[in-house]
Amino acid sequence: MLDGNLRKNIQIGIEVEVVQKQDQSSGKLTSGVVKKILTNSPNHPHGIKVMLESGIVGRVKTILE
């Protein structure tokens, strides 16, 4: 399984599970396809921030593809 904390593992068009800001306490995951990568640094301890095609913004927890 690829690490969602590393930007190099995330490409536009792959399916991922993200945690949204309001779901961080519950840990609820939302799955979708990456439309845009919002984190510029090569890694982030809480996950790379992405925008899904649905418009949802969250940090990548798991990479499904």
Task: Report how many domains make up the chain.
Answer: 1
Residue ranges making up the domain that contains 43: 7-63
Averages of pLDDT over each 10 residues, the chain, 65 residues: 91 97 96 98 97 98 91
- Separation CA 17–CA 58 (nearest Å): 9
Helix (H, G, I), strand (E, B) or coil at 23: helix
Is residue 51, in this structure, part of any structural domain at all?
A: yes
Longest dimension (CA), the chain: 27
The pLDDT, as a whole number, for residue 45 is 96
Is residue 1, in this structure, part of any structural domain at all?
A: no
Is residue 14, in this structure, part of any structural domain at all?
A: yes
CATH classification of the domain holding 36: 2.30.30
